[in-house]
Amino acid sequence: MHIRGPISINEIVAATGLSRATVDRVLNKRPGVHPRTQAHVLRVLAQLENNGRADQEAPLALENRDALRFGIVVQAGATFRSSVLETVKKMKDAGPGGAVLQAVASLSDEETIELIRMMGRDSDGLALVSKNIEPVKSALKELQSAGKPVVALVSDLDATVRNAYVGIDNRAAGQLAAFILGRCLERGGEAKVAVVVGYFSYLCQEDREIGFRSLLRQRFPRIEIVEVIKGNDSREATYEAALHLLKNRSDIAGIYNVAGGNLGLAKAIEEVQPVQRPLYIAHEVNEVTEPLLRTGVIDFLIWQNVQSLVRLSRQVLIDLRSAEGSVRELNYLPVQVVSQFTLSPGTDCH
């Protein structure tokens, strides 16, 4: 009687029709593979072990692609990152057009590049929130060369490395912040304000700051930006930078945070207790900012609905894959603003 030896990875690759990297990740229980793909690999492995061969329809079922598979890579602050991942998790497995989404988080530039290449190989297209830096752009060009569409989410990328953008018009969002702040402060005469940024390599943050600065200059020339502090999208770094600012300048009448780190900024304001609390405008309604808004620490939040963001990105990827008609390059979501008086109890901004 012939005793079958261990199944080789090459046999599984041939039987599943998947890449060697994907099969290897499943066998070694590493993240980044859709549960359906995992189940497919394990089913084929069991068939090979029991029968010495896989059912002929096993790879065919995956190749028929009853559902397109799209990846989402999110390199952002912890709170926004978790909002996107939770939204994808709550959505149905396959949406309109039969498209399945899988979202993964990145904690570094190096991990973002690795995830772009990994998910790009195993999906029909990719949406991502990332910095607009050369290594990322190089990885995205590789995807496009392989015929995989790329959609920039929230923060745009160079037009040469993405097919479309989905999110708010960030320059308009910065102008909105300047208009609110300007109208609130202009009657007091001259005023000093500060801007908090994370990384200018996120084009969304750069565009918000540009929009804010340009409208103040045009409409409210007596309001001066005296400081741009860098918080690195981190609670700790934002706290330290804001604390230094507020301790050394008692004349800050307004703060516009284009990035994350709001817990740190709020802590610094509370600790310094300035005589005149600065008007505070930030971005996104989430588990961190909503309580700060409701208690009056933050005055206004400019936000975009994360569920709408994910749904629209999925539809744009479907349209790009189908190539039926033209696909709009810039897909803007409404720029929305809320205060503690307009955010209803139990509001779900995801």
Q: What is the pLDDT of residues 221-234, one digit of tens each?
A: 999 999 999 999 99
Computed over every residue of the chain, the mean pLDDT equals 89
Residue 64 has pLDDT above 50, yes or no: no
Share of the chain above pLDDT 70, in %: 87
Residue 122 has what pLDDT?
85
- Per-residue pLDDT at 53: 56
Write out pLDDT tens, residues 84-114.
999 998 886 555 556 889 999 998 999 999 9
DSSP string for residues in 173-229: HHHHHHHHHHHHHGGGSSEEEEEEES-TTSHHHHHHHHHHHHHHHHH-TTEEEEEEE
> At 334, is the pLDDT very low, low, confident or very high (cuts 50, 70, 90)?
very high
Q: Which of 173-187, 280-294, 311-325 has the lowest mean pLDDT?
A: 311-325
| CATH architecture of the domain covering 66-168+305-334 | 3-Layer(aba) Sandwich (3.40)
pLDDT at residue 33, as a whole number: 64
**Sequence ranges of the domains in the chain:** 1-64, 66-168+305-334, 170-303
325 — pLDDT class (breaks 50, 70, 90): low
Of 49-53, 61-65, 306-310, the one with minimum mean pLDDT is 61-65
* Whether the predicted pLDDT of 244 surpasses 80: yes
Report whether pLDDT(341) > 50: yes
- Residue 346 — pLDDT band, cuts 50, 70, 90? low
pLDDT > 60? residue 349: no
Q: Collapsing DSSP states into helix, strand and coil, what is residue 134?
A: helix
Q: Is the pLDDT of residue 350 over 70?
A: no
Interatomic CA distance for residues 18 and 58, integer angstroms: 11
- Percentage, residues of the chain above pLDDT 90: 70
Class of domain 170-303: alpha beta
Distance of alpha carbon 253 from alpha carbon 93, whole angstroms: 47
- Provide the pLDDT for residue 51: 72
Section 53-79 average pLDDT: 67
* 66-168+305-334 matches 1-64 in CATH topology: no
Residues 283 and 231: beta-carbon distance below 8 Å: no
Q: What architecture is the 1-64 domain classified under in CATH?
A: Orthogonal Bundle (1.10)
Buried b (16+ CB within 10 A) or exposed e, 11-48: bbbebbebeebbbbbbeeeeebbbebbeebbeebbebb
